[in-house]
């Protein structure tokens, strides 16, 4: 199978690459390395074609998509810091970039997976968010909400391309996804806290730490993405992919301290201090995974303790590598 992966040098994208190589796909990756890195693909570097460039470059995209049968669209401006610091680039990437991808998919009669996000539910704190749940977003003039707004437009675009032009498309909405290779640099909570614990620095928890999340393991989420794109019944649907256990960020921080054996303390940091005045966080984000279970048998299995242990091991290895490089 000839396959194009946008954002394939990123965290989730690089795990998807591993699984698709196992399937025997011939893979082209387009990534601008804004938050991803070629290091994530170092172990498969001679088995993929990795092209540096942007999904905003329609000409390059058309060239790379020529003759592909599958497109996995993960390229996006991600992370709270990226969205707050560069709202314009983020909006362009997350709206026009997706439109470009849908366009080349249609021209090549390729099946395309649009990777959306659980963020689109916004402040809806329902018990378990099903795919038809209402979206509760703040003002479009607040940069924080533009990520959810753009991803929502992406889904609507995908749906319209399918309905009016016959594009074969499926949409997934991952909830917080974690695992090896995720960087803490752009505001992702698990790798950030793990790094602080390993360095003996205070673990910074925003707000009072009572906000909850359900963390999914990247290997399981990436596998489900592949299955969703192949499932005929998933055509034109949006499918949640979330973790199993609801956990508060304070509890998560305590668990990380225990697993790393760190002597660090936990420090509560007001949201305004971290992200500026008027920042709003979601108090809860719990997925309803029933559709994914019905369609592709998705079942998040790896417990959060094991996920954290995998991140700790990966972070230790990465930090040892950096120290080794610095010594040379």
Ligand X SMILES: NC(=O)c1ccc[n+]([C@@H]2O[C@H](COP(=O)([O-])OP(=O)(O)OC[C@H]3O[C@@H](n4cnc5c(N)ncnc54)[C@H](O)[C@@H]3O)[C@@H](O)[C@H]2O)c1
Question: Where along the sequence are the contacts to ligand X (CB under 6 A)?
Answer: 6-7, 9-13, 30-36, 54-56, 74-78, 93, 97, 115, 117-118, 174, 176-177
Q: In which element (H, E) is residue 177 found?
A: strand 177-178
CB atoms within 10 A of CB 43: 11
Cβ distance 30 to 75 under 8 Å? yes
Closer Cβ to ligand X, 113 or 266, answer by number: 113
Catalytic residue among 121, 147, 279, 298: 147
Say which residues have a Cβ less than 8 Å from residue 305's Cβ, sequence separation at least 6. 255, 259
Phi-psi region of 36 (alpha: psi -120 to 50; beta: other; left: phi over 0): beta
Give the nearer residue to ligand X in terms of CB position, either 117 or 262: 117
| 302 membership: H or E segment, kind and range | none
> Per DSSP, what are the bridge partners of residue 268?
205
Choose between 78 and 231: whose C-beta lies nearer to ligand X.
Answer: 78
Is 147 an annotated catalytic residue?
yes
227 burial level (CB within 10 Å; 0-12, 13-18, 19+): middle
Helix, strand, coil percentages (3-state) for the chain, rounded to 5, are 50, 15, 35
Check if the beta carbon of residue 138 is closer than 8 Å to that of residue 249.
no
Residue number with CB closer to ligand X (16 or 264): 16
Q: Closest separation between CB of residue 129 and ligand X, Å?
A: 13
- What are the DSSP calls for 239-298, one per residue? EEE--S-EEEHHHHHHHHHHHHT--PPEEEE-HHHHH-TT----S---B--HHHHHHH--
Q: Is 308 exposed, middle or buried (0-12, 13-18, 19+ CB in 10 A)?
A: buried
Phi, psi of 117 (to 5 degrees): -165, 155
Q: Which residue is nearest to ligand X, using beta carbons?
A: 36
Using DSSP, state whether 122 is helix, strand or coil.
Answer: strand
| Minimum distance, C-beta of residue 183 to ligand X, in the bound complex (Å) | 7
Residues with catalytic function:
147
């Amino acid at each position: 199978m000839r396959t194009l992966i946008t954002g394939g040098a990123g965290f989730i994208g690089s795990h998807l690459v591993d699984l698709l190589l196992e399937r025997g796909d011939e893979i082209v990756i387009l990534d601008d390395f804004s938050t991803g890195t070629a290091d994530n693909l170092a172990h498969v570097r001679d088995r993929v074609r990795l092209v540096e460039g942007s999904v905003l470059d329609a000409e390059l995209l058309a060239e790379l998509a020529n003759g592909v049968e599958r497109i996995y669209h993960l390229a996006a401006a991600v992370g709270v810091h990226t969205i707050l610091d560069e709202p314009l680039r983020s909006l362009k990437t997350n709206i026009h970039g997706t439109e470009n991808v849908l366009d080349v998919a249609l021209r090549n009669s390729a099946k395309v997976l649009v990777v959306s996000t659980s963020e689109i539910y916004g402040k809806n704190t329902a018990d378990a968010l099903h795919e038809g749940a209402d979206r509760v977003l703040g003002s479009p003039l607040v940069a924080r909400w533009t990520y959810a707004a753009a991803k929502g437009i992406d889904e609507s675009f995908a749906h319209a391309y399918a309905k009016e032009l016959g594009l074969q498309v499926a949409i997934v909405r991952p909830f917080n996804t974690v695992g090896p290779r995720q960087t803490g640099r752009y505001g992702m909570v698990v790798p950030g806290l793990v790094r602080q614990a390993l360095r003996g620095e205070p673990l910074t928890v925003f707000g009072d730490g009572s906000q909850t999340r359900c963390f999914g393991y990247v290997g399981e989420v990436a596998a489900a993405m592949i299955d969703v794109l192949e499932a005929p019944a998933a055509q034109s649907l949006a499918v949640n992919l979330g973790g199993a256990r609801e956990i508060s960020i304070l509890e998560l921080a305590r668990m990380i301290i225990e697993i790393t054996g760190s002597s660090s303390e936990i420090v509560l940091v007001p949201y305004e201090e971290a992200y500026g005045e008027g920042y709003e966080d979601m108090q809860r984000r719990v997925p309803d995974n029933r559709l994914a279970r019905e369609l592709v048998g998705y079942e998040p299995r790896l417990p959060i303790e094991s996920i954290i242990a995998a991140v700790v091991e990966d972070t230790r290895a990465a930090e040892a590598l950096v120290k080794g490089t610095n010594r040379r």
